[in-house]
Amino acid sequence: MVRLHVKHGCGGDYGGGGGGDGGAGEFLYETETSSMIDEIANHIIEIANLQSKIQCLAGEFEPCLSKLQGDPKVMPLVRALSEAMSYASKDQVVHNKPLSIYVLRDHTRSIEKEFLVTYSVMGLSSPDLQQFLSDLQILEENTVQLLWAGKELTRGKKLCDFIGRNEKTKIVIRLQSLIPPPASLSGGEKS
């Protein structure tokens, strides 16, 4: 299996707020050299979005939960957030543990389920969560490119077309947004 060390997010261009590291994230992902770049991109983008979602939910709920510290009604949500944050942490890279889409999905579902049980205790409403989730900025497949060694991994090709067939390779991939900078930064009139 090829191990991809994925880095995503830069300052404020991704994330939607809340998380403690400015939206930056990284994780490990395993695949085979025969995998299509399209498939790899889909999985990596979903993992990056789930990782960011967990970080943002934790950042959003932390102020409410810290006021209710010790309240047994919110402990399942605190536990769900803690477990999700631990799993989605970029510290997993240090421990050489790749992330799984399925485990991340389970963690986000668990957080959402526990929120629905405890939102009234927190002084929030169910629509607050839906509004927060809809406000999150997520990466979309058609707005992101995968870069390796400064070159784009072109969709429609296989990973082995770029790195060869060595299944014990470890490479660093960067997710880069294709969204152009705002018009005010692109050289308009100066005041």
Residue 167 per-residue DSSP state: T
Confidence label for 18 from pLDDT (cuts 50, 70 and 90): very low
Give the three-state DSSP class for 158: strand
Q: Write down the pTM of the prediction.
A: 0.82
Is the Cβ–Cβ distance between 23 and 12 less than 8 Å? yes
The number of residues making up the chain comes to 191
- Mean pLDDT over the full length of the chain: 84
Residue among 35, 31, 145, 153 at smallest CA distance from 98: 31
Residue 182 CB neighbours (<10 A): 8
Residue 126 per-residue DSSP state: H
Digit-coded pLDDT (tens) for 89-98: 989 999 999 9
Digit-coded pLDDT (tens) for 131-158: 887 778 788 888 888 999 989 999 999 9
The CA–CA distances, whole Å, from 10 to 22, 117, 176, 181 equal 7, 34, 9, 13
